C-alpha cells in the first residue's frame, strides 16, 4: 500500500488514531496533517471566509507533501473537495477518499457556487467519497453529477472518547443542542406546550431564528465550549433533537446522549434510521411535529421504566457502528477498489 495522508480539521491527533486500527497489520505509512483551526471562524459569520481559506491552505499543503498515487484520506469532506479541485486544475495524480459528505440545502449564489465546485471535484477520476446512508447518497445524485462507482455508503461510528454513565431519571430539564439543522422553532413550541417542564438549549447564535420569542421555561446558551456543552447534556432528563430537514444532522449529539443513557426524541431521517428504531430505541418523529415532541417528553417523564428501556436498546443498536468496524470499512474500500494502485 502507498502512503496515506490523513487530513483532519480539529485535533488532537490522538482523538482520531483509532481510524487506522484496521491498517496496523500492513504497517501502513500514515502521515498526519492538521488544518489550522480557530473556533472563532465557526462562531462568527464574517469569519467564514477565513475558515474556507484554511480549507484551501491545507489542501495545497497535502498536495505538495504527497506524491503520485498516494492516498489522501480526508476526515472533512469539504477539504477533500478542495483537494480534488486543485488536483484537477494542476494535473496532479492523487487518490482522494473524502469521508462523510454532508450538503445541507442552500439557496442563491452560495448554492450555485457550491454545486460548481463539487461537480468539478466529482469529475476528477481519482476522487472518491462516502455518505452516511443510501437515501442521502441518492439525494446527492439528483443534485450533483456523481459517479456511483466512486461513492460508498459508510454510516458514522461512535468515538472511543465518548463518556458513559448509567441511566439517571433525576435530570432536571429537556436538552437540545448542536450546530447544524436544528429546528429551534419546533423545540420552543414544544416547550410552550409544557410550561411545567424546564428546557435547556445550546446552539450557534448565528443560526438562531430571528424575531422569535423564547418561552420563559427555556434557558438558551450560545457558542459555549465543548466541555460546557457536555456538562449540560449530562445533567439533562432526556434529549430532544428536532431537525429542519431529513438530511444528515445530529449524529454526534445522538451518540453522546446514548452513551450518557439519555432517552432520545429525534426527527426521523435516513441517517438516524441507520442506528435507531422508533418506539424501540428512540422516538422518531416527522419534521416539525410539535405535538409529537411534547407528547413524547411527557411520556418519558411519566414512564421512567420505558425511558430506561429506550436507552438500553439504543446502546445495543449502535454496537455494530464501532470505530473498529468503521476503520475496517475504510481499509476495505482502499484495498478492494485498488485506490492505491
pLDDT in tens, 139-187: 999 999 999 999 999 999 999 999 999 999 887 899 999 988 899 999 9
d(CA 294, CA 297): 5
Structural domains counted in the chain = 2
Q: Give domain status of residue 184, yes or no.
A: yes
Q: Give domain status of residue 166, yes or no.
A: no
Asked if residue 188 and residue 290 are part of one domain, the reply reads yes
Q: Give domain status of residue 164, yes or no.
A: no
Indicate which CATH number applies to the domain containing 204: 3.40.50.2000
Asked if residue 182 and residue 48 are part of one domain, the reply reads no
What Cα–Cα distance (Å) separates residue 129 from each residue in 28, 34, 107, 297? Answer: 21, 19, 24, 38
Q: Are 340 and 69 in contact (CB under 8 A)?
A: yes
Environment class of residue 120 by beta-carbon count within 10 Å: exposed (0-12), middle (13-18) or buried (19+)? middle
For residue 337, the number of C-alpha atoms closer than 13 Å in the C-beta half-sphere is: 20
Spell out the residues 6+ positions from residue 253 whose beta carbon is closer than 8 angstroms to its own.
Answer: 177, 178, 233, 239, 241
| All three cell numbers of 124 | 476528477
Q: Give domain status of residue 168, yes or no.
A: no
Spell out the residues 6+ positions from residue 66 whose beta carbon is closer than 8 angstroms to its own.
Answer: 3, 5, 31, 72, 94
Q: Give domain status of residue 29, yes or no.
A: yes
Asked if residue 262 and residue 153 are part of one domain, the reply reads no
Asked if residue 245 and residue 198 are part of one domain, the reply reads yes
Instruction: Determine the pLDDT at residue 339.
Output: 67
Asked if residue 152 and residue 29 are part of one domain, the reply reads yes
Asked if residue 201 and residue 109 are part of one domain, the reply reads no
Q: Give domain status of residue 341, yes or no.
A: no
Q: Give domain status of residue 263, yes or no.
A: yes
Asked if residue 230 and residue 122 are part of one domain, the reply reads no
Asked if residue 189 and residue 250 are part of one domain, the reply reads yes
Asked if residue 262 and residue 187 are part of one domain, the reply reads yes
Instruction: Determine the pLDDT at residue 10.
Output: 87
Q: Is 53 helix (H, G, I), strand (E, B) or coil?
A: helix
Instruction: Determine the pLDDT at residue 328.
Output: 96
What residues make up the domain containing 329? 4-157+322-336
pTM: 0.91
Asked if residue 178 and residue 153 are part of one domain, the reply reads no
Q: Give domain status of residue 132, yes or no.
A: yes
CA dihedral 118, 124, 125, 131 (to 10 degrees): -20
Q: Which residues of the chain have pLDDT under 70?
A: 1, 41, 43-44, 46, 338-341
Instruction: Determine the pLDDT at residue 208.
Output: 92
Strands (E), the chain: 4-8, 30-34, 71-74, 95-98, 127-131, 151-153, 174-177, 199-203, 218-222, 238-241, 264-267, 283-285
Instruction: Determine the pLDDT at residue 341.
Output: 55
Asked if residue 330 and residue 302 are part of one domain, the reply reads no
Asked if residue 234 and residue 203 are part of one domain, the reply reads yes
Amino acid at each position: 500500500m502507498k502512503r496515506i495522508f490523513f487530513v483532519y480539521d480539529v485535533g488532537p491527533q490522538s482523538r482520531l488514531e483509532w481510524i487506522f486500527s484496521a491498517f496496523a497489520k500492513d504497517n501502513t505509512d500514515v502521515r498526519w496533517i492538521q488544518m489550522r483551526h480557530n473556533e472563532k471562524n465557526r462562531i462568527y459569520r464574517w469569519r467564514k471566509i477565513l475558515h474556507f481559506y484554511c480549507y484551501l491552505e491545507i489542501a495545497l499543503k497535502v498536495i505538495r507533501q504527497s506524491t503520485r498515487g498516494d492516498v489522501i484520506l480526508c476526515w472533512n469532506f469539504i477539504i477533500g473537495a478542495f483537494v480534488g479541485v486543485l488536483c484537477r486544475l494542476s494535473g496532479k495524480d492523487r487518490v482522494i477518499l473524502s469521508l462523510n459528505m454532508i450538503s445541507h440545502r442552500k439557496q442563491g449564489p452560495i448554492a450555485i457556487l457550491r454545486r460548481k465546485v463539487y461537480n468539478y471535484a466529482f469529475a476528477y477520476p481519482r476522487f472518491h467519497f462516502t455518505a452516511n446512508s443510501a437515501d442521502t447518497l441518492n439525494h446527492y445524485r439528483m443534485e450533483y453529477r456523481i459517479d456511483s462507482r466512486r461513492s460508498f455508503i459508510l454510516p458514522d461510528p461512535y468515538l472511543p472518547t465518548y463518556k458513559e454513565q448509567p441511566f439517571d431519571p433525576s435530570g432536571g430539564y429537556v436538552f437540545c443542542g448542536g450546530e447544524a439543522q436544528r429546528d429551534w422553532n419546533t423545540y420552543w413550541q414544544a416547550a410552550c406546550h409544557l410550561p411545567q417542564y424546564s428546557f435547556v438549549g445550546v446552539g450557534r447564535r448565528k443560526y438562531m431564528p430571528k424575531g422569535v420569542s423564547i418561552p420563559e421555561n427555556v434557558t438558551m446558551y450560545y457558542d459555549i465550549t465543548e466541555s460546557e456543552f457536555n456538562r449540560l447534556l449530562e445533567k439533562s432528563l432526556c434529549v430532544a433533537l428536532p431537525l429542519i430537514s431529513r438530511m444528515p444532522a445530529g449524529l454526534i449529539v445522538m451518540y453522546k446522549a446514548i452513551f450518557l443513557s439519555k432517552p432520545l426524541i429525534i426527527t426521523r431521517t435516513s441517517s438516524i434510521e441507520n442506528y435507531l428504531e422508533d418506539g424501540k430505541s428512540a422516538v422518531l418523529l416527522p419534521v416539525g411535529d410539535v405535538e409529537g415532541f411534547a407528547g413524547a417528553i411527557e411520556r418519558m417523564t411519566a414512564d421512567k421504566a420505558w425511558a430506561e428501556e429506550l436507552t438500553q436498546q439504543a446502546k445495543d443498536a449502535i454496537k455494530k457502528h464501532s470505530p473498529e468496524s468503521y476503520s475496517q470499512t475504510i481499509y476495505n474500500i482502499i484495498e478492494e477498489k485498488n485506490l492505491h494502485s
